[in-house]
Structures are given as C-alpha cells and as structure tokens.
C-alpha cells in the first residue's frame, strides 16, 4: 500500500519504520517547525529510528496526501482537531484513516474518532484505530507484542489487520470501537497513578490499582454504550505492563515526577485524559475514584500520598464499591 504517516514523533516515526519494514510504500509528514522532522531530513534518523532511502520525508501536507491509500495519524491527541481543520482542505475520499493515538479530547470529552468524523464523509472515507501495548525501544530490539485494530466497519478492520500484521506485531480484530478508544485512553491515567505510587514508595498497591482501575473503566465503557469486557483486553488491562511498570512509560514517569516535584518534558497524554474523564464521569454518572484522584493531584495540587492513601487504604465501611467475592 501507499501509506502516509502524519506525525514524526517517537511513535509516529516507529510506525513509519515498521510499515516500511513490512513492505509498504511510506511517506512521513511533519510540521516545518518540527525538530524531529529537521533531524530526519538532515540525518534520516532521530537517534532511535533510522529511515532507509525508501521512506519519503516531507513537510508538504498536499504531497503527503497525494496518491496514498491510507493515512496513519500519530500526533498529540489534543492537536487532532487542528490537524483535521487542515485536512478538510484536501480530498480524503477512498482513503483509510487510522488513528494511532490514545486520548480523549479534553474540552469536549469526545473520542478521537468522533472528532475525526466531524471533518470527513464516512460514506467515502473509512476511519479506524490502532491501539494496544508496546514501546518503540522494545520493538526495535525485535521483542514482539500484540495490538488491536478496530473500526465501525468489520471489512475495514479485517483489511488493515491483514495488511499490517507481521512476526513483530500480531494484530487482533477489534469489535468495540467505544470500548477500545476509552480503554486505551484511560490506561494512561492509571499509568500516572502508578507513577505516583512509585514516587511515594507504595508500589505494592499496584495490584489494587490494576484491578480497581480496570473495574471502574469497564463501568464507564458500559455507560457509554460499549462492551465493559473491553477494559480487560489489550486496549486497557493488556497495556498495563507497558504503562504502569515500564521505564519507557511517559505517563508512569509523569506520575513519579509529580511526587519528586520534577518537571516532565515528555508528552503524557494521561494529563488531558484525566480532565476529559472527569467530565465523562459527570455526564454518565459513573464513579471514577482513581481517575478523579489523579485529576485532583494534577489540577488541584492535592497531596499525592494523602490522596492515594485515602483512596486505597480507607476503612472498609466507607468503601464505595467492592468486587465480586470480596467482603
């Protein structure tokens, strides 16, 4: 396929490298002012990813979109709407757009496919998502993983899974767009909570965090019309190892830096997602105690240790919710 990857950050550049590696014709687009783009244009690498001569690199959006069959987007979730304002000037008919991002629009609480669909004609342009666990550093070492592709059209899901699968990434067929989008975005907030636990020396509470985090997100997915079991799949619980434990996780590191009062210069999508989830918890009347605690720590500057101690170590008599089989 002729595929254009919009975004040349850590994940976008890996996707371009991967799709080229498995035999597709790849063009990478980045903003003219992007330092990542400048490095690729000058050196064809960013210190982690190296593009061979077959990968085309451009800052011309029109050139990137011409003659491509699929458009893979990997940018900050909160920048997606601005990008689509630019994309709306181009003919996207008969193209497949794949969103490789994990977030929820902060100001509206909309899923990213909902944002995209405001600017495309779904009768002529297909939309899909690519989510699941994995870090660039591990993939480049040849360590395989499993991920998910989902769309509201089964034929699109099947086509992309067949085109993108390899020995390095085994793709599963998604069948719950709502659940996979919300689950993938929300795991970043749980990742920040995990980093906070690391920072205060309460790593032993990660077991409770994982079980309770999945439980509360499953309730939100159900309230939004998705399958609550999706929270227990690769989009959410299946991504916990990479997000809650890995040294490469930006969200986990962000949480740890909060406790240490250190600045985190890398993008942590969970920050904006925590604000969006707070809105969604109110709209759908679903309790999200972990997500709301993370949001309070970030926005209200509440004490991390006090906030999470109150959440996990409170007396049983005031527990808001118990799991089946727990008294």
Residue 176 — φ and ψ, nearest 5°?
Answer: -150, 85
Q: Which residues of the chain have pLDDT under 70?
A: 314-327
Whole-number pLDDT of residue 263: 85
Whole-number pLDDT of residue 170: 97
The verdict on pTM exceeding 0.85 is yes
Would you call 32 a catalytic residue per the annotation? Answer: no
Of residues 76, 101, 323, the one with CA closest to residue 213:
323
* Helices 270-283, 206-223: crossing angle, 10 deg rounding: 50
Q: How far apart are CA 186 and CA 167, in angstroms?
A: 28
Whole-number pLDDT of residue 265: 74
Domains, the chain, ordered by start: 2-173 (3.40.50.720), 177-318 (1.10.1040.10)
Whole-number pLDDT of residue 195: 97
* Strand intervals (E) in 19-117: 25-29, 56-58, 70-73, 96-99
Whole-number pLDDT of residue 315: 59
Average model confidence (pLDDT) for the chain? 94
Which candidate in 187, 260, 279, 300 is catalytic? 187
Whole-number pLDDT of residue 31: 95
Q: How far is CA 284 from CA 184, 204, 225, 319, in A?
A: 19, 31, 10, 21
* Strand intervals (E) in the chain: 2-6, 25-29, 56-58, 70-73, 96-99, 126-131, 145-151, 169-173
Whole-number pLDDT of residue 314: 65
pLDDT in tens, 284-317: 999 999 999 999 999 999 999 999 988 887 655 4
| Tokens (6 digits) for 11 | 């994940």
Of residues 86, 115, 91, 100, the one with CA closest to residue 17:
100
Whole-number pLDDT of residue 126: 97
């Amino acid at each position: 396929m002729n595929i254009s990857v919009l975004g040349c950050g850590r994940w976008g550049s890996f996707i371009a490298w991967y799709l080229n590696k498995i035999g597709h014709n790849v063009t990478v687009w980045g903003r003219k002012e992007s330092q990542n783009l400048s490095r690729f244009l000058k050196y064809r690498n960013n210190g982690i990813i190296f593009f061979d001569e077959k990968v085309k690199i451009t800052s011309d959006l029109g050139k990137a979109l011409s003659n491509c069959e699929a458009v893979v987007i990997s940018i900050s979730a909160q920048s997606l709407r601005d990008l689509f304002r630019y994309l709306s000037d181009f003919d996207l008919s008969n193209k497949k757009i794949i969103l490789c991002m994990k977030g929820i629009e902060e100001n509206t609480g909309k899923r990213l496919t909902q944002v995209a669909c405001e600017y495309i004609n779904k009768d002529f342009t297909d939309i899909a998502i690519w989510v699941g666990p994995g870090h660039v550093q591990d993939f480049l070492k040849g360590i395989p993983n499993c991920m998910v592709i989902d769309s509201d059209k089964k034929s699109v899901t099947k086509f992309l899974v067949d085109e993108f699968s390899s020995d390095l990434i085994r793709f599963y067929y998604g069948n719950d767009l709502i659940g996979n989008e919300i689950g993938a975005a929300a795991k970043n907030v749980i990742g920040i909570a995990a980093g906070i636990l690391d920072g205060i020396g309460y790593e032993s509470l990660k077991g409770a965090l994982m079980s309770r985090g999945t439980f509360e997100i499953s309730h939100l997915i159900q309230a939004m019309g998705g399958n609550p079991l999706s929270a227990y799949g690769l989009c959410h619980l299946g991504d916990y190892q990479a997000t809650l434990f890995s040294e490469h996780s930006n969200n986990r590191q962000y949480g740890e830096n909060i406790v240490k009062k250190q600045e985190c210069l890398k993008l942590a999508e969970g920050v904006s997602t925590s604000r969006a989830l707070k809105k969604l918890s109110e709209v759908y009347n679903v309790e999200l105690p972990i997500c709301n605690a993370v949001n309070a720590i970030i926005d209200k500057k509440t004490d991390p240790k006090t906030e999470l101690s109150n959440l996990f170590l409170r007396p049983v008599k005031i527990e808001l919710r118990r799991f089946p089989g727990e008294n």
